[in-house]
Amino acid sequence: MGGDTAVLPADIDGLRRLVIKQSKELSELQEENYILVRKAEVLEDELRLLRHKLFGRRSERLTAEDLRQASLFDEAEWISEEQRRRPPETIIEVGAHHRRKRGRKPLPADLPREEVLHDIPEEEKICSCGEPLVGIGEETSEKLEIIPQQIKVIRHIRPKYACRNCEGTECEQAVKIAPVPPQIIPKSIATPGLLSYVLVSKFCDAIPFYRQEKLFRRIGSELSRMDFANWAIQVARQCDPLIEVFLDDIRAGPVVQMDETRLQVMKELNRANTTKSYMWVIRGGPPENPVILYRYHPTRSETIPLQYLSDYEGFLPTDGYDGYTKAGKRPGITHSGCWAHARRKFDEASKASKKSGSAEEALGRIGKICRIEQNLRAQQLEPEAFARKRKEKVLPILKSLKKWLQLKVLQVPPSTLLGKAVTYTLNEWEKLLKYLDSPYLTPDTNLMENAIRPFVLGRKNRLFSGSPRGAHASATLFSLIETAKANGLEPYRYLKYVFIKIPVAVTQNDYRSLTPQYLDREDFRSFLI
């Protein structure tokens, strides 16, 4: 201390100045320490979130245990969650009531059956008393068998006929032969069935062409991945008129949802192979016959939505990406938000933070909104009555949630995951309310998420597209398959039907009748029997 006191000022004013200076330095150090502590907390949250994404449960759904711990829902709700996770039940009709039987569901009735009889020998059909046994019934059990895929060659034979009397003359009828049947790929060895199998395997089952090449080799056929790629490009080009019908239907519907995901495409003009491109996905059309359209573009520009939404009037629900803002401001378009994206940010904050009570409270409030939607949809109300009841039930929850958010934004540092979730939700608030204005809108864009998921799954297997032509072909084939699925059609049967019919299509109505939403279901069923 003696050394310290030796440098102290001798006068009172000097001592006062020294105290003020050291107080200021201490205050600056405390402020710097506060900032460093906050940065450390943010980094810890991000680290916990990263670990959860790598090793934790992927689903955003709260488990029954989560619900109990958060104390956000009553007992009946988390019990119903536990019941949902139990094995499926079969309902048995017994008189005037139902009885639930647990266990395996019966095999589908439309599968072909083959009967195998297991009987006792004739000599055992005699009782020990000497009388013959009589049949009193039987016991049956069903087991599922599979026949491995088969491959065969179909020989097309066209007899030729000639007139010997006109031999050597200029007679145009001297030689006759049946015309070649129309084919989607002329002079190709691929049948509609083979094309459908290969393309559904890739674009529906996410089996890349190089793996299919190995599968075909195992069953005795030397088809290469280059064959498959060329077939896909040629087939997609033939199906382009169907895409024009998809676009017309999308623009005529009451709701259009859009999203985009990255795509790596090789051999793009004046671009490196490592440059990111994008697959844009659009969902719209009549609510009862939805259309899902995939389109490849090298950029994520805001001009892309404008290109597809020309002359469109209706609702445009999207996530918070700024690329949709310009399209959302066009006359006739109402831009709405997505509660699923807001919820996801609170879910990440909940998983990352040690103190996740606030995030879980937000998740609970958003969950109530979604459950109201689900319950009202189950009642199958008229559109106007549904929209009115939904607004009556949801608006009080939303008003309370907004007050809670406005309070939290003052309490939570904006750099934390919770702060980012609160800020995002408040910034999107007006768009998040728009879904209440239309019975055709839901709080989220989960249907759009479901539409884009098959592409994301396939991307993990194939990594990239070999060329822009391949990316365009992929977009067309994804569009056909996903739209078929959305309209209740089995993809393989649908593509085979289209590939048989499209070579003879001429008019716009011919092509229109081949789209899933306008397909003649009776003709479709009978044609492929």
pLDDT tens per residue, range 230-253: 999 999 999 999 999 999 999 999
pLDDT at residue 194, rounded to an integer: 95
Note the Cα 464 to chain centre separation in Å.
19
Tokens of 183: 């084919």
Q: Given a cut of 70, is residue 65 above it in pLDDT?
A: no
Q: How confident is the model at residue 509 (pLDDT cuts 50, 70, 90)?
A: very high
pTM: 0.75
pLDDT at residue 78, rounded to an integer: 39
Q: How confident is the model at residue 285 (pLDDT cuts 50, 70, 90)?
A: very high
Based on C-alpha coordinates, what's the Rg of the chain?
Answer: 33
pLDDT at residue 220, rounded to an integer: 83
* DSSP 3-state of 366: helix
Q: What is the H or E stretch that residue 317 is in?
A: strand 314-317
Q: Is 67 exposed, middle or buried (0-12, 13-18, 19+ CB in 10 A)?
A: buried
Q: How confident is the model at residue 460 (pLDDT cuts 50, 70, 90)?
A: low
- How many CB atoms within 10 Å of residue 436? 16
Q: Given a cut of 90, is residue 274 above it in pLDDT?
A: no
pLDDT at residue 69, rounded to an integer: 43
| Contacts for 417 with CB less than 8 Å, ≥ 6 apart | 42, 45, 46, 49, 345, 348, 349, 352, 353
Give the start-end residues of each E strand in 58-211: 89-94, 97-102, 160-162, 175-177
The answer to which of 194-198, 260-264, 354-358, 472-476 has the lowest mean pLDDT is 354-358
Q: Is 112 exposed, middle or buried (0-12, 13-18, 19+ CB in 10 A)?
A: exposed
pLDDT tens per residue, range 385-443: 999 999 999 999 999 999 999 999 998 888 888 899 999 999 999 999 999 999 999 99
pLDDT at residue 510, rounded to an integer: 95
Terminal-residue alpha carbon distance, the chain = 101
For residue 506, what is the DSSP state? -
Give the start-end residues of each E strand in 140-288: 160-162, 175-177, 257-264, 276-284
β 291-297/314-317 pair status:
unpaired
Q: Given a cut of 90, is residue 25 above it in pLDDT?
A: no
Over residues 471-478, the mean pLDDT reads 94
Letter for the amino acid at 266? M
